[in-house]
Amino acid sequence: MNQRYAPIDAALFVDNRKRFVLELKEKAIAIFQSNDEMPRNADCCYPFRQNSDFFYLSGIDQEQSILLLFPNSPDPKFKEVLFIRESDEHTKVWEGEKYSKAEARKVSGIQTVYWTKEYETLLQWLAAECTYLYLNNNENDRAKNEVISRDARLTPQTKKLFPGVRVERSAPIMVSLRQIKSKAEIALIQEACAITEKAFRRSLSFIKPNVWEYEIEAEVSHEFTINRANGHAYSPIIASGKNSCVLHYVNNNQQCKKGDLILMDFGAEYANYASDLTRTVPVSGKFSKRQKAVYNAVLRVMNEASKLLVVGNTFDNYNAAVRCIMEKELVDLKLITTADIKKQDPQNPALRKYFMHGISHFMGLDVHDLGDRQQKFKAGMVFTCEPGIYIPEESIGIRLENDVLIGVKGPQDLMKNIPIEADDIEFLMR
């Protein structure tokens, strides 16, 4: 088995499957697939990352795998079937061992395991007993993929093979399930956050004038690796000076200058679960008066916004409240005026010049995780909280971000131990 993280109790995946099949229609088969091995150049592929929905239901972290769920199967043996890649002698020599059937049973909790090459024959046989086929696709509302995925290819293939079977979408069910995190999932996210904390503290001791952004990235990556993280949950942002005003700056190739700020947005991925941290620190170890004023304004917005991540709130009400909080801070910083606010276009509010992105997003197996933005907040949801103020004309870009669990008794900051107060940052950098 090729993962470096500690084994996960199969009970997590068993429970996830139980909750999923309860949402299926009678006489339905659901099919989930591992991700493609994405070609890079020549004979190389990009590092493999499992399909999040497939992992959520199986725990299998290997390519060329398929999950088939048929809760109404006449033969109980085929209620859950896992197909995995068989290790031949060539594979063992060049890539190493893949899951054995016994290992796959232990990881997933699925007892019926076949080799992937047997999938088409078994599906042809089982499909004769079903009325519906549930197929999965990436329906994340942020998705903008031009590459045709393994899941996207499956839908037309299946309709052609089984024209008499009605095709249904698994995605709405997965959104409903994945947006609420179980205790086991929260523990994995918390571990990712703990690794991210170690990387941030390491970076504070390294940052000084004339270091390069990519050197800081290397320090972070080193800490992730020695703590058994999969790697980065997303492309890290190490943005100094004017780069801090570019929201998705990932070049990380500039030298950090005395007196500049450096905005660092990174998060460890542990057992395929993400974390997402942003901190902005002074390259020289001490904020200027203006930098600290903007920093503390962002921190006040973050503290107030975090309090609003409670059961029953909605995205619309949450964003409207945060907008009011941010407007006051921008007025106090003399970036906008009350007159600007009174005459603003509601579709293009005045604050957008200095705060142009959303305050929060769902987080879990994906850093921009599945979730229904029209639904009221529920206990078990995990959100980022990430206000920012960006002033390009002053080369000041400050964003702060923590990961927050909506609890029954109120918000729980999963990154509460990571330093954030300006004075604490300066102290640690000394």
Angle at 279 between CA 275 and CA 283, to 5 degrees: 140
Q: In the structure, what pLDDT confidence band is assigned to residue 94 with cuts at 50, 70 and 90? A: confident
Average pLDDT over residues 96-104: 92
Model pLDDT, residue 1 = 57
- State yes or no: pLDDT of 151 exceeds 90: no
pLDDT band at residue 43 under the 50/70/90 scheme: confident
pLDDT band at residue 2 using 50, 70 and 90 as cut-offs: low
261-266: strand order across its sheet: 237-240, 261-266, 277-282
Which position has the higher pLDDT, 142 or 404? Answer: 404
Residue for token pair 């300066």: 426
Which domains does the chain carry?
11-178 (3.40.350.10), 183-429 (3.90.230.10)
* Mean pLDDT within 266-271: 98
Q: What is the mean pLDDT of residues 337-343?
A: 95
Report the largest interatomic distance among the alpha carbons of the chain, rounded to a whole angstrom: 74
Alpha-carbon distance 215 to 398, whole Å?
21
pLDDT of residue 148: 81
Please say whether the beta carbons of 72 and 27 come within 8 A.
yes
From residue 123, give the alpha-carbon distance in Å to each of 30, 67, 157: 11, 11, 13
In percent, how much of the chain has pLDDT > 90?
87
Provide mean pLDDT across the span 167-183: 96
- Residue 53 has a pLDDT of 97
Reduce the secondary structure of the chain to three states and give it as a string: CCCCCCCCCCHHHHHHHHHHHCCCCCCEEEEEECCCCCECCCCCECCCCCCHHHHHHHCCCCCCCEEEECCCCCCHHHCEEEEECCCCHHHHHHCCCCCCHHHHHHHHCCCEEEEHHHHHHHHHHHHCCCCEEEECCCCCCCCCCCCCCHHHHHHHHHHHHCCCCEEEECHHHHHHHHCCCCHHHHHHHHHHHHHHHHHHHHHHHHCCCCCEHHHHHHHHHHHHHHCCCCEECCCCEEEEHHHHHCCCCCCCCCECCCCCEEEEEECEEECCEECCEEEEEECCCCCCHHHHHHHHHHHHHHHHHHCCCCCCCCHHHHHHHHHHHHHHHHHHCCCCCHHHHHCCECCECHHHHCCCCCCCCECCCCCCCCCCCCCCCCCCCEEEECCEEEEHHHCEEEECEEEEEEECCEEEECCCCCCCCHHHHHHHHC
- pLDDT band at residue 158, thresholds of 50, 70 and 90? confident
User: Using one digit for the tens of pLDDT, what is the confidence trace for 232-250?
Assistant: 999 999 999 999 999 999 9
Helix-helix angle 422-429:183-206, to 10 degrees: 50
User: β-pairing, 396-399 with 388-391?
Assistant: antiparallel
Kindly tell me if the per-residue pLDDT of 36 is higher than 80. Answer: yes
Q: How far are the Cα atoms of 28, 80, 109 from residue 25, in angstroms, in the given order? A: 6, 16, 23
Is the pLDDT confidence value at 283 over 90? Answer: yes
pLDDT class of 95 with cuts at 50, 70, 90:
confident
Give the pLDDT band (50/70/90) at residue 58: very high
Please report which confidence band the pLDDT of residue 311 belongs to, taking 50, 70 and 90 as the band edges.
Answer: very high
Is the pLDDT confidence value at 29 over 60? yes
The one-letter amino acid code at 97 reads E
Residues near 49 by Cβ (< 8 Å), separated by ≥ 6? 35, 230, 272
Higher pLDDT among residues 39 and 287, named by residue: 287
Between 141 and 211, the more confident residue is: 211
Instruction: Read off the pLDDT of each residue in 358-373 and give the average, rounded to a whole number.
Output: 96
Averaged pLDDT score across all residues of the chain: 95
CA pair distance 266, 282, nearest whole angstrom:
17
Question: 139 falls in which pLDDT band (50, 70, 90)?
Answer: confident
Cα end-to-end distance, the chain, whole Å: 43
| Res. 12: pLDDT tops 60 | yes
- Cα-based distances in Å from 8 to 12, 61, 273: 8, 11, 12
Confidence of residue 192 (pLDDT cuts 50, 70, 90): very high
Which tens digit of pLDDT belongs to each residue from 62-91? 999 999 999 999 999 999 999 999 887 778
- pTM for the predicted model, two decimal places: 0.96
Average pLDDT over residues 390-412: 98
State residue 397's pLDDT score: 98
- The yes-or-no verdict on residue 422 having pLDDT over 90 is yes
**CB distance 195 to 227 below 8 Å:** yes
